Structure 1
Amino acid sequence: MKRTWLLGGALALLSSCAPLQGAQKPQLRGLWVDAFGPGFKTPQEVDRLVADARKMNVNVLFAQVGRRGDCYCNRAAMPRTNDSAVPEGFDPLADLLVKAHAQGLQVHAWIITTALWNSAAPPPDPEHAFNTHGPAAHGRANWLTQKKDGLNRAGADWVLDPGHPDAAEYIRNMYVSVVKNYDVDGIQFDRVRYPDGSPAGGPLEWGYNPTALERYRAETGAVGTPEPGDPQWAAWRRQQVTNLVRETALAVKAVNPRLSVNAATITYGEAPTSEEGFTRSRPYTEVGQDWLTWVKEGYLDVNVMMNYKRDFVPVQAEWFRGWNAFAAQLLRQSPQVAQVSGSAAYLNDQNSSVSQARQALRTGLSGWALYSYRTPDREVNAGRRTQADVWPELSAKFTARTMPFELPAPWPAPAADTLRAVRGSVSGAIPGGREVRLLDARSGEVLDSTFTDGAGRYGFLRVPATQVIVQVGAQRTAAVTIQAGQVVAMPPLVLP
């Protein structure tokens, strides 16, 4: 039976610790476990990871099951990884879930959302999406994002374009296949954006996939090829990323409303101090990541900021505090979405990581996460010490008396009864880019609005407990009342 670990694991966790002085309030204590080195690739690595996480009083593992178009698992839409460090037939995700759940640890499936491949040699699996929809593919079959000059490789990576409808469908199915086949506690988006490439403060330069461009022209009436800084073009590309997050969240919640949907979000440079200021921030302008909207619209259960700053560099320390303050402000305004600050341990010494955790928690955030298990401080990152030497030291610092993780803390799954969602689709000559309104059936008041994706899909995750209607153009659905814990599929709308 699923979820039996919730009780047994929690009792195991508490029984091994000193008596708690009163109830500990929920606090997410996350650990990113990447797949770029040892972590959970063998049964022995999984055993050690779970033991190390327990000793540090971590409660959530963000395990990188999807690296670049592959999966560290045997049952997913992506092909099984060809990483030679994984024993033949071994399923890392399945093994991690059994062992982590037995110890009261949650496992969230972390997938790099848009990266597809990064080696000059193609993947050996002929069905890998790089082989079928990469640089050798033509027309609509090519899913790669491009710059205006035709460059289709961001550094070493080939990257999927969120504006291509088939690429977006493939990405959504990656996550859904994992949650259908594995008893994960959540999913995490990573690099759910366009690639880097602009100088600091520059415009978003990627998104020129030919199929995406055709969509943009058809949906907006624009002609020619827009410049990277064109405001309408920039807004359209941001919306494609937002559509992708929304539709994946809805599909995952339809499988299990108690699954946590979270994202590792960008915090480049100086932090905003207001929502309006966020629209001038580097995440918003340079890579098309409007995570403020994802929080406000309830597309996420947890926003995990990649607040990767050096604590010993004054300007970066100020940026770290600024993003924490902005997230704390959002938490007060949208308390349904947890706000977590993630630190780059590989950029810092151990005391700096402890200091950043304390600072984030004192700001009033929902928790703190460490990147990464493989590189727990800058000495390891520089190759001067080993992870095996450093991890026990760092763990001891975090769990010492009066330190951030001195005692265990719970982190509950999202409550199913807080979810009320609708999703649907439209068809017609141009299904994408259509404004969709959620109306109060009695008063006609517009409660919310969004835009359809390239396949004509739409959805809302914060539907009030009243009768509602969905309207697209002149077409309307019948009135429905959404019950708690449901993602209701609305009848399709046919548009002229």
Structure 2
Amino acid sequence: MKVKQLMLLTVLFALMASCGGRIEAPVKEARAVWYSRFEYCNSTKTHDQDSIKLHISSVIDKAADANFNIILFQVRGNGDAYYTSDIEPWGEHLTGEFGKDPGWDPLEYAVKKAHSRGLELHAWINTFPVWRGTEPPKETNPLSPYLAHPEWLVCDTSGTPQPLTNHYVSFSPGIPQVHDYLITLAKDIVSRYDIDGIHFDYIRYPEGSIDNGYSHDSISVSLFQDSEKGNPYNLEWEDWQREQLNQFVYKMYNAIHEMDPAIKMSAATIGSYDVGGWNGYHAVFQDGRRWAEMGKVDFLAPMIYWERTHPIQPFMKRSEEWRKNTFERYCFPGMGSYRYNTDEKPHTWDETLGQIRDMRAKEFPGFVFFDAGSIEGHWSDLGFKEFATPANIPPMPWLNVQEPVLPENITVDMPDHNKIRIQWENTTDQWQRYNIFVAEGPEIDSLSSHHLRMVTLPGANTAELKVRNQDTHIALSALNKAWVESPLSRIISFRE
């Protein structure tokens, strides 16, 4: 089956619900949330390890209970590490001191917790930023990249490096050695942690690039002027800078997938592709469309944090533009749910709910909340209403992973009248999951959320679940690491 046909299946709806005008939740839908280093580290002013762990555990439990399926967990902010690294120093928010070993590993802890609850965990990296603050970092071991490589910093038209402020100072995307450095960093994470994906933010030049001429560092300028090696197609300056980001994405995607073809690589992009004053293409030379067109990203999460009624950047219009720009890859629009926790319209939670419903009406394959903290007070409601049924992450058949294998020797018994116990032989690797479908007759629809009752943990070979009095039949399907689904197993009657 062609990729386009497979992707079309991910956005089909099983039925239209008749109550309240609400569309039934799809069986294939990415439900993701950004979970920043500020959120889990600043949950306590004492930097107490147990309190931070409790926050991570609590957020993951709430997300799992609400039928989310992806956590985008931040592990790098600005040349710092929230995981054990020999390349960059520990982030200061873990202990209150930059470079200080906290004595535990947040990424390792979060991965194990997420996997125990059936969630994918993607390591979220701020890509080019290397420092943030009005004073330079202190010397640490390993040294901050800001201190280790001042020759790589973004520079203005006069060749002066970005000044220290309360916002990020970045490495220049036009320097090949910077690409190599970041690829080494990402490969280190992939090699040592059981993550499901790498998620990149800040794949772009800094704010103010047009006004300040970022980045006229000497290496970039020299390459731009080199018509043989650095600029063989004689691109104009802005196009050349876009191509540097393109090349970074291409190289990163290839490097990651050479190590592990099942890793999903994604990117957060500016919410507007090329419209308005603040957009990716013109303001910061970011061409996410090109990354998707070349197949060098698995999904884009454009940060469309505006409301649906915004006069210049309306949420749904920008979302639909991005979807057209992702070709055979996915667009999971980023919702600014952090903005919709006030009582003043349109900045109420109803705007977030409206965005979810509108995206479903337009058959979007998923979405991302910014951020986990914005869902506090709403987790249970989402799990009870909008996400009342589980969902698969949309399939990514272009990933070079083993095809799903149907379970064998399925048996079903009933310990009591409203519970069934299923067992099967898992003949493949430990990462295969299973969908369990239950219906009120022998006709089972694998695209109906009424029939999908459970998505198992990877490697499972048993399951127990409650059933309704009218339920009579069950079937299973298998899911590989790319969430490609097998055909249904034979349909089994469990009420004779």
TM class, shorter-length? 0.5 to 0.7
Distance (Å, rounded) in 2 between the aligned partners of 1:36 and 1:260? 24
Q: 1:88 to 1:418 in 2, by over 3 A?
A: closer
Match of 1:128 among 144, 168, 184: 144
Amino acid at match of 1:194: Y
The Cα shift of 1:412 comes to 5.8
- Give 1:226-237 correspondences, 5 Å limit: 232-237=236-241
The answer to whether structure 1 residue 408 and structure 2 residue 396 are counterparts is no
Aligned residue number for residue 383 of structure 2: 399
Amino acid at match of 2:53: P
- Give 1:351-430 correspondences, 5 Å limit: 351-376=350-375, 391-392=376-377, 394-401=378-385, 403=386, 405-411=387-393, 414-415=396-397, 418=400
Match of 1:145 among 139, 154, 157: 154
The answer to whether structure 1 residue 97 and structure 2 residue 82 are counterparts is no
Q: 1:330 to 1:122 in 2, by over 3 A?
A: closer
The answer to whether structure 1 residue 320 and structure 2 residue 315 are counterparts is yes
The Cα shift of 1:164 comes to 1.1
The answer to whether structure 1 residue 292 and structure 2 residue 289 are counterparts is yes
- Give 1:138-177 correspondences, 5 Å limit: 142-149=151-158, 150-153=160-163, 155=165, 156-177=167-188
- Residues matched between the structures, number: 355
Q: 1:220 to 1:360 in 2, by over 3 A?
A: farther
Aligned residue number for residue 58 of structure 2: 48
- Give 1:461-480 correspondences, 5 Å limit: none
Amino acid at match of 1:213: V
The one-character-per-residue Cα deviations of 1:373-401 (angstroms, maximum 9, x if unpaired) are: 1344xxxxxxxxxxxxxx13x22332343
Distance (Å, rounded) in 2 between the aligned partners of 1:204 and 1:285? 14
Contact 1:203 1:285 in 2 (8 A): no
Distance (Å, rounded) in 2 between the aligned partners of 1:291 and 1:154? 28
Distance (Å, rounded) in 1 between the aligned partners of 2:139 and 2:92? 8
Contact 1:56 1:396 in 2 (8 A): yes
The Cα shift of 1:83 comes to 2.7
Q: Aligned with 2:225: secondary structure?
A: helix
Distance (Å, rounded) in 2 between the aligned partners of 1:396 and 1:264? 27
The Cα shift of 1:319 comes to 2.5
Aligned residue number for residue 445 of structure 1: none
Distance (Å, rounded) in 2 between the aligned partners of 1:57 and 1:252? 28
Contact 2:25 2:389 in 1 (8 A): no
Amino acid at match of 1:399: G
Q: 1:222 to 1:29 in 2, by over 3 A?
A: closer
Distance (Å, rounded) in 2 between the aligned partners of 1:269 and 1:242? 15
Distance (Å, rounded) in 2 between the aligned partners of 1:110 and 1:76? 18
Match of 1:180 among 191, 206, 211: 191
Distance (Å, rounded) in 1 between the aligned partners of 2:128 and 2:399? 32
Distance (Å, rounded) in 2 between the aligned partners of 1:36 and 1:308? 19
Aligned residue number for residue 37 of structure 1: 39
Contact 2:130 2:170 in 1 (8 A): yes
Q: 1:85 to 1:183 in 2, by over 3 A?
A: same
The Cα shift of 1:231 comes to 6.8
Contact 1:257 1:416 in 2 (8 A): no
Amino acid at match of 1:237: Q
Distance (Å, rounded) in 2 between the aligned partners of 1:300 and 1:203? 30
Distance (Å, rounded) in 2 between the aligned partners of 1:270 and 1:233? 17
Aligned residue number for residue 202 of structure 2: 191
Contact 1:162 1:168 in 2 (8 A): yes
Unaligned runs of 5+ in 2: 1-23, 44-48, 341-347, 402-481, 483-496
The answer to whether structure 1 residue 217 and structure 2 residue 225 are counterparts is yes
The one-character-per-residue Cα deviations of 1:325-351 (angstroms, maximum 9, x if unpaired) are: 1133345xx23x111011111222211
The Cα shift of 1:363 comes to 2.0
Report the structure number with the largest CA radius of gyration.
2
Runs of 4+ off more than 6 Å = 220-223
TM-score norm. by structure 2 comes to 0.66
Q: Aligned with 2:296: secondary structure?
A: coil
The one-character-per-residue Cα deviations of 1:425-460 (angstroms, maximum 9, x if unpaired) are: xxxxxxxxxxxxxxxxxxxxxxxxxxxxxxxxxxxx
361-370 or 236-245, which moves further after superposition? 361-370
Match of 2:123 among 81, 96, 109: 109
| Identical amino acids, percent of aligned pairs | 22
Aligned residue number for residue 347 of structure 1: 339
186-195 or 53-62, which moves further after superposition? 53-62
Unaligned runs of 5+ in 1: 1-21, 135-141, 224-229, 273-279, 377-390, 420-484, 486-496
Contact 1:38 1:374 in 2 (8 A): no
The Cα shift of 1:248 comes to 0.6
Aligned residue number for residue 73 of structure 2: 63
Amino acid at match of 1:397: D
Contact 2:174 2:220 in 1 (8 A): yes
